[in-house]
Amino acid sequence: MKTRVVLIMAPLVILALALAGGFILLWRLFFLSVAVLLLSYLWALFSIRGIEGQVKKSSERCQVGEWFDEEVTVFNRSKAAKYLVKVEENTDLPGHRNMEAFNLPSQSSHRWQNKVYCQRRGQYSLGTLTAMVTDPLGLFSLRRNLGEPQNILVYPATLELPFFQPLSRNESGYGPNRWLLSELSPNAARVREYASGDTLNRIHWGTTAHAGKLMVKVFDPDRSRYTARNIWLILDMNQASQLGDGDETTEEYCITTAASLIKRYIDSGKRVGLIASGDQSYLFPPETGDQHLSQMLEALALMKATGKVPVDQLILDEIEHFEASSVIIVITPSTSDEITASLRHVKKRGTMVIAILLDSISFGGTVSTINTTRSLISNGIQVYVVRCGVELARALDSRVLPSGMRHI
């Protein structure tokens, strides 16, 4: 930039010297410098004209952790060749930068493809391009906007939770290796490799001998003894409860946990509903099917933890929706003493209540979840504790003593 200013100011300096001295050489040098500046500007002006562009993407939606394809085409509609063309895509998609530099022959096009990684949920804009051309001396740079704006919706990640099997209402107490025994049929559906915490009476010896390693039986749920009519997820999007920075926030962990549980239950044919109060109020009555799943994932993709309603108040406000035989799963980073009271009130309606607490200290908070965990357990409420940086499938593993109870 400083070099450009100096070169543009040079003719004025030369003009002043020519007027003062009257030397013919200074006048010629002045006219030459003016001609160079004029030709450079005209070069850039004519180079930017006739350039068009478009962006095509493979999908309107994506999910955190996935990729989508993008194809960019830049056209030269002019009969004159375009040199030193640089094109960059305008987008607010985190971590995405798409830029190319090339020459464009007369009435030709330049095309390139790009794979785009989705690293954060939300709705983002892309599709518009900025083309920039520069004259050979680098004195002038002109820009032109190309293409039409488009949007990409990024769903939150849905993680596999193979060992999340909450206890039924008829079972009391917690302990290592404790599964939802009352929901298991007597017939094994498949086998898998032995994992720490599996009981020895589930080892399938025939498959073990054939595979050369310990294999255990996996049973299908027996819905004859206990079947949840509806599953409700209550998501704490109260701004006052949130902690953490960047992607390692309680907001993002809440969203990912909710999305993972919703997909798990929808895929198994369960009726799932969602309640939250964040940037707006969200209420999805329990339904089944892929369309219902997509609607809730879209809401979770756009949801912001800017709400003013504490989760304990939200539970009481929506309590009429919770019928007997429903399962209520509350996901919250809150350590308020009022949560226990509200969940105890819900439990009296004949529902199964599960609390998934986000450990506030691991997200940079100062108040531990230990007291809240103790209070909930003493009232017969199942508790899981999710810590920042700990794999979600591990935190929600029902085969072992829930992590939040190790402090009890």
Range of the structural domain that residue 231 is part of? 226-407
Q: Residue 152 is which amino acid?
A: I
* β-pair type (141-146, 128-134): antiparallel
More confidently predicted of 87 and 199:
87
Burial class (CB in 10 A: 0-12, 13-18, 19+), 23: exposed
Q: Which CATH number fits the domain that encloses residue 125? A: 2.60.40.10
Q: Give the pLDDT confidence score for residue 222 in this predicted structure.
A: 46
Domain of 251, CATH number, reads 3.40.50.410
pLDDT > 90 fraction of the chain, expressed in percent and rounded: 61
The mean-pLDDT minimum among 94-98, 172-176, 389-393 falls in: 172-176
pLDDT at 349: 87
- For the cut 90, the answer to whether the pLDDT of residue 137 exceeds it is no
Residues 126 and 233 in one domain: no
CA distances from 298 to 63, 188, 289, 302 (A): 10, 36, 14, 7
**Banded pLDDT at 28 (limits 50, 70, 90):** confident
Q: For residue 41, is it within any domain?
A: no
Give the C-alpha distances (Å, rounded to integers) separating 133 from 9, 83, 101, 343, 391.
22, 8, 10, 63, 48
Per the CB < 8 A criterion, the answer to whether 399 and 198 are in contact is yes
Look at residues 134, 155, 176 and tell me which one is the last residue of a structural domain: 155
Q: Do 250 and 143 belong together in one domain?
A: no
The tens digit of pLDDT for each residue in 107-127 reads 999 999 999 999 999 999 999
Residue 396 lies in a domain: yes
The answer to whether position 281 is within a domain reads: yes
Q: Which amino acid is at 29?
A: L
The band of 193, judged by pLDDT with boundaries at 50, 70 and 90, is confident
Is 342 a domain residue? yes
Domain total of the chain = 2
| 241 in the same domain as 143 | no
Split at pLDDT 50, 70, 90, the class of 210 is confident
In this structure, the answer to whether residues 147 and 291 fall within a common structural domain is no
Number of neighbouring beta carbons within 10 Å of residue 360: 23
What does pLDDT average to over the chain? 85
Structural domain contains residue 22: no
Tell me, yes or no, whether 132 and 244 share the same domain: no
Determine the Cα–Cα distance for residues 342 and 329; give it in Å rounded to an integer.
13
Q: What is the pLDDT of residue 182?
A: 37
Residue 304, domain member (yes or no): yes
When pLDDT is averaged across residues 157-178 and rounded to a whole number, the result is 63
Q: Which of 33-37, 99-103, 258-262, 375-379 has the lowest mean pLDDT?
A: 33-37
Is 230 found in the same domain as 347?
Answer: yes
Do residues 289 and 271 lie in contact, with contact meaning Cβ atoms separated by under 8 Å? no
Answer yes or no: do 308 and 387 share one domain: yes
Q: What is the 3-state secondary structure (H, E, C) of the chain?
A: CHHHHHHHHHHHHHHHHHHHHCCHHHHHHHHHHHHHHHHHHHHHHHHHCCEEEEEEECCCEEECCCEEEEEEEEEECCCCCEEEEEEEEECCCCCCCCEEEEEECCCCEEEEEEEEECCCCEEEEECEEEEEEECCCCCCEEEEEECCCEEEEEECCCCCCCCCCCCCCCCCCCCCCCCCHHHEEEEEEEEEECCCCCCHHHECHHHHHHHCCCEEEEEEECCCCCCCCCEEEEECCEHHHCCEECCEEHHHHHHHHHHHHHHHHHHCCCCEEEEEECCCEEEEEEECCHHHHHHHHHHHHHCCCCECCCHHHHHHHCHHHCCCCCEEEEEECCCCCHHHHHHHHHHCCCCEEEEEEECCHHHCCCCCCHHHHHHHHHCCCEEEEECCCCCHHHHCCCCCCCHHHHHC
Last residue of a domain, one of 155, 186, 216: 155
Q: Are residues 141 and 276 in the same domain?
A: no
pLDDT at 198: 66
Last residue of a domain, one of 155, 170, 199: 155
Amino acid identity at 100: E
- Tell me the pLDDT band of 318, cut-offs 50, 70 and 90: very high
**CA angle centred on 305, ends 301 and 311, rounded to 5°:** 115
**Mean pLDDT, to the nearest integer, of 150-158?**
96
Per-residue pLDDT averaged across 178-204, rounded?
A: 59
Greatest CA separation for the chain: 109
Query: Are residues 385 and 303 both part of a single domain?
Result: yes
Asked whether residue 19 is assigned to any structural domain, the reply reads no
Q: Work out the average pLDDT over 284-310.
A: 96
Q: Predicted confidence band at 2 (pLDDT cuts at 50, 70, 90)?
A: low
Are 236 and 134 members of one domain? no
Instruction: Kindly report whether the global pTM for this prediction surpasses the value 0.85.
Output: no
Mean pLDDT of 137-148: 89
| Residue 272, domain member (yes or no) | yes
Q: How does residue 209 score in pLDDT terms, banded at 50, 70 and 90?
A: confident
